[in-house]
Structure 1
Amino acid sequence: MTFGPEIRWDLYQKLGSPQIKTLDDYLTVLKQMQQLSPKSDSGKPTYGFSLWSDWDGSGSMNVGSITALYGYGTGDGFNKADLILTKADEAKWQGLLDDDGYYLKGVKFFFDANKMGLLDPDSLTQKFSDVSNKYKDGQILFAQFPWVSSNYNTTEHTSAGKGFAFVPFGDEKMSSVGFKPQGGTWYWSIGAKTKYPERVMQFLNWLYTPEGVMVSSYGPKGLIWDIKDGKPTLTDFGYKAITNSVNMPDEYGGGLYKDGVNQINNATISKSMINPETGEPYDYTMWTSYLNHNPDPVTKSWRDAMGALTVRDYVVKNNQVAVAPEYSSSEAPAEQPADIKQKNSEVGKVIKEYSWKLMFAKDDNEFNSLKQQLITKAKGLGYDDVVKWQVDKYEKTVGAALKK
């Protein structure tokens, strides 16, 4: 899962796990959680949200993560330059500045959070690295992304029953990207002066086989992992190696396990694909054996309460995920004309600037005034022209494919 939302499960349970029907319901719950835990591990004040701007494009990337909870996103990523949101699994779109659209709803959500003292004031100036450290310290109670909450969900915390877990709201439909059967945009190549190119080709071919994926990812079969009753499992040594990076046996060369893992900064096939030899994904964290191996108190409590083994199981079972099917075309992506490109850039800067001003507006009157300024400025710079161009391209390509 790319998106959340995840909240501090231990605090949520202490509140009696109140029902969260709408996005705005998180604000009430988070305020109560903040009152339960006003200080972090190091004694700093806690907040519901902590944002960062160094990944922004046209608008705020963090606001974009909120639109994704309704199944909407920008065509080329939340930190890029589209001025329209598109539905993952339906031929629908919204302009970023649509009054009833999810982008402005996300901006208003963080504005309301700030009024309640839930938005970290450092959000205006900090970078992602600062936010990561705050999660580690327990300063933040809500996570837009599961990979952010992992900073807090250490073995030390989860074994003590403290940690983040997925808690969706009633009408959530999380956006998710489907597989790309034709591959990605990272490549493997063989050097022109390679002495034995056929041996390189044999090695590359092996990396794409089930054995190659397993061995290159985790290490030797029988030592780190094995097959039991046709299913993959980590060995006792494998659990220690992957979690604590122990020393390898002498017959395997010795040294720390972590120093021997694959260092190639490229991938073959996605590890969440099914290994045809086992019927389970290549990713060991998705193996049934791993999922059922001594789950920590947070995981066990979440599973008991939610009636699911994983977040993926939950959202699929409850129809709360919108998967974008892979779209491909034999035509090259359309290049924006110079005038549209110029307007897109200028409008994007204004939307980004005003998104932050709106989130930190001092009251409702200032929020409404700034919102009107944003719309007036953006439209004056050609917002409608850019949206029209992007919608036209969308409806002829991805939108047309989704309608079929």
Structure 2
Amino acid sequence: MRKMRKPLLVMVSLFLVLVTALAGCSKSGDGNTSNPGTTVKNEEKKENNENKEPPAENTDSKWVLGEKPLEFSAYAHYNNSDFPKYESTPIGKYLSEEKQVKINMIAAAGAHSQKLSAMMASDELPEMIWTDRNHPDMERLLKAGKLVAFDEYLDKYPNLKTWMGDDLNMLRAEDGKLYMFPNWYSANPFGNAGYVVNKKIYEELGKPKLETTDDLYDYLVKVKAKYGDSIIPFEPHRAQDMQGLGVLYTAFGEGALYTYLNSGLRAVPKDGKLTSVLTDPVFREAQKYIAKLYREKLISQDAFNQTEDQVLEKVMTGRVAVFAGSSPTTFAGEAQPELIKNDPNGGYFMIWPIHKPGLDKNKIYPGTYTSFGWNAAYITTAAKDPEAIFAFLDWYTSPEGMNVQFFGPEGKNWKGFDEEGKPNFPETYDPKEVAEIQTKNEPVMFVGNTSYIDPAKYKYMAKLPFEEQDWRTRYQQTITWPTQYNVTEFINLNPDPESEEGVIQTSVDEMFLEIYAKSVMAGSDEEVDQILDQGNKDLVGLGYEKLLEWRTAKWQDNLTKMNKK
């Protein structure tokens, strides 16, 4: 899932997603900032790397952040997601004033496909593009020779190579070169998908059990009966992205994954093959449940056309009883301090993923993650100094870069590093300020190293009582990270957009979303089946089976590379 932006954003998760990481080394607790070019070993990779020395650095003509001005243009290729003015963010202000970095953000104002198409047609590309990994438009730019390969920079600026290791090779293009810098790359589970519950409403309704799909339905009915139209029982974020509705799907099958619904897969693995989502019994059962919620007005009736801002407003004002999505912690984490200002007993909490009665609750995964996170940064041939931009991105994921993004400039909230490379937190650490810094920086966390920042951030939180820990952090540690599933095996399943399979994918994606929306709005279980039956026939008519055959071969190739066959 993204969609985090993560983070974050990314997710992402995006995204005050407490997922990020780094790769730079540090001096051990002496209060001095480490050289951003050196590297720290990832504890999770000690088994493979414990006898290895950090890669030797090539200091010849090495670009060092802050030694001279750096200015470049950047574009976020996501619907309803424009980068803010860089200097308006804490990290942007710091880099502008202290490191001579100026990033000119290009906005599309909702017309992202048209904007990038126009830039491609006029050959006036942004110098950096941030979007989904293997986005079809990036494949077009690659084919046109408009993307910069990173291979010659990997040893010179070693954070990405060191922390990703051999997994990085799975991101290489067919020509064997690397053109993308992954965001939120990690060797550890991470992600924020799941269910957030309005605490005030929950307590007013007597704190009923919320574990199964039956429990959830009964609870949503009670919410509607008590609060009427003033409260939305179930807020699924953006249904056109399948967000919270995709999370509900996972409740109906052990191992059913949100990723199966995504454009990059649109399939369910069975007996070594990728098969149609629409014929999957688990998907059909979930759609009938979701359609029932929708027609009883227990789900936002504008779920398929609402904007991010509209969802945020509802969460911020506490007008939702249950909020689910790929990263509900981003909005809920922002709303939490505002809601408890006037009511200390208000705010939100997270619950263990909902499951269908009879299923093992520990085999339900509302979210997924990959070693490469959700999205990636690409450098185009329009870049005046592509090496400088790559060095900047690599610094962003260094210990210094990650800590400045999450805690602010060194001094007040962090100072130097301990023997494990984690930041030292002085008595001047201000949790409220740190939370604000992270929230404001989240939209511009282009790249992040999850393996580093997660344990770094939790180092401070671990010594606090649960109720005093950062809202996002405590639920990531106890709820979301333990319930996310690794789907690295399903990456790179998007065909060349100009190929026969690529053309099929575009048509399948458009029709799939139409079928999906119709099934959610169906008037009965029988109508759900009819819509999905006809929908599957229509997809097959577009070449869906040929696309699934192509993806099956690529998936099996991934398994071979990962030694999972």
Distance 1:105 1:241, change over 3 A: same
How many angstroms apart in 1 are the aligned matches of 2:445 and 2:371? 20
* Structure 1: runs of 5+ lacking an equivalent: 246-256, 303-307
Deviation at 1:371, TM superposition (A): 2.9
Per-residue CA deviations over 1:327-373 (Å, capped at 9, x if unaligned) read 889xx975377433333332332221121122112334433333333
1:219 and 2:408 aligned: yes
Show the counterpart of 2:234: 48
Which residue, out of 350, 356, 362, partners 1:166?
350
Matched to 2:502, the amino acid is K
Show the counterpart of 1:83: 266
Per-residue CA deviations over 1:142-162 (Å, capped at 9, x if unaligned) read 222323542773313135222
Show the counterpart of 1:288: 460
Task: Give the SS at the match of 1:403.
Answer: coil
Matched to 1:6, the amino acid is V
Matched to 1:223, the amino acid is K
How many angstroms apart in 1 are the aligned matches of 2:439 and 2:257? 38
Distance 1:91 1:135, change over 3 A: farther
Matches for 1:119-268 after TM superposition, within 5 Å? 119-145=299-325, 146-147=328-329, 149-150=331-332, 153-158=335-340, 160=343, 161-167=345-351, 168-170=353-355, 171=361, 172-180=364-372, 184-186=376-378, 209-215=398-404, 217-226=406-415, 232-233=424-425, 235-236=427-428, 238-239=430-431, 241-242=433-434, 266-267=446-447
How many angstroms apart in 1 are the aligned matches of 2:257 and 2:537? 24
How many angstroms apart in 1 are the aligned matches of 2:538 and 2:555? 25
CA contact (8 A) 2:196 2:329 kept: no
CA contact (8 A) 1:340 1:385 kept: yes
Per-residue CA deviations over 1:369-396 (Å, capped at 9, x if unaligned) read 3333323322333322322222232123
1:113 and 2:293 aligned: yes
Matched to 1:29, the amino acid is Y
CA contact (8 A) 2:224 2:233 kept: yes
Matched to 2:196, the amino acid is E
Distance 1:178 1:235, change over 3 A: farther
Deviation at 1:111, TM superposition (A): 0.3
CA contact (8 A) 1:347 1:383 kept: yes
* Structure 2: runs of 5+ lacking an equivalent: 1-190, 356-360
Deviation at 1:164, TM superposition (A): 2.5
Matched to 1:342, the amino acid is V
Show the counterpart of 2:175: none
1:323 and 2:323 aligned: no
Matched to 1:210, the amino acid is P
Which residue, out of 193, 198, 213, partners 1:23?
213
How many angstroms apart in 1 are the aligned matches of 2:479 and 2:443? 34
Show the counterpart of 2:550: 389
1:367 and 2:528 aligned: yes
Per-residue CA deviations over 1:302-337 (Å, capped at 9, x if unaligned) read 9xxxxx953433466xx64423357889xx975377
CA contact (8 A) 2:224 2:232 kept: yes
Task: Give the SS at the match of 1:166.
Answer: strand
Per-residue CA deviations over 1:205-246 (Å, capped at 9, x if unaligned) read 76655345434643344423347998743644634544578x
Identity rate, percent? 16
1:72 and 2:257 aligned: yes
Task: Give the SS at the match of 2:430.
Answer: helix
How many angstroms apart in 1 are the aligned matches of 2:490 and 2:541? 34
Show the counterpart of 1:253: none
How many angstroms apart in 2 are the aligned matches of 1:262 and 1:315? 18
Show the counterpart of 2:24: none
Bigger Cα displacement from structure 2, 156-165 vs 91-100: 91-100
How many angstroms apart in 2 are the aligned matches of 1:366 and 1:142? 27
Distance 1:17 1:341, change over 3 A: same
Distance 1:201 1:292, change over 3 A: same
Show the counterpart of 1:249: none
Distance 1:46 1:215, change over 3 A: closer
Deviation at 1:34, TM superposition (A): 3.4
Per-residue CA deviations over 1:82-126 (Å, capped at 9, x if unaligned) read 331469xx9785522123143x34432320112332022222432
How many angstroms apart in 1 are the aligned matches of 2:219 and 2:562? 40
Task: Give the SS at the match of 1:143.
Answer: strand
CA contact (8 A) 2:268 2:280 kept: no
How many angstroms apart in 1 are the aligned matches of 2:522 and 2:442? 48
Matched to 1:313, the amino acid is T
How many angstroms apart in 2 are the aligned matches of 1:262 and 1:28? 36
Which residue, out of 462, 475, 495, partners 1:310?
475
Matched to 1:375, the amino acid is N
1:350 and 2:531 aligned: no
Show the counterpart of 1:32: 222
Matched to 2:464, the amino acid is N
Distance 1:216 1:355, change over 3 A: closer
CA contact (8 A) 2:396 2:402 kept: yes
Matched to 1:281, the amino acid is P
Distance 1:339 1:237, change over 3 A: closer
Task: Give the SS at the match of 1:135.
Answer: helix
CA contact (8 A) 1:46 1:141 kept: yes
CA contact (8 A) 1:158 1:297 kept: no
Deviation at 1:291, TM superposition (A): 7.2
Task: Give the SS at the match of 1:98.
Answer: coil
1:2 and 2:182 aligned: no
How many angstroms apart in 2 are the aligned matches of 1:203 and 1:348? 35
CA contact (8 A) 1:91 1:399 kept: no
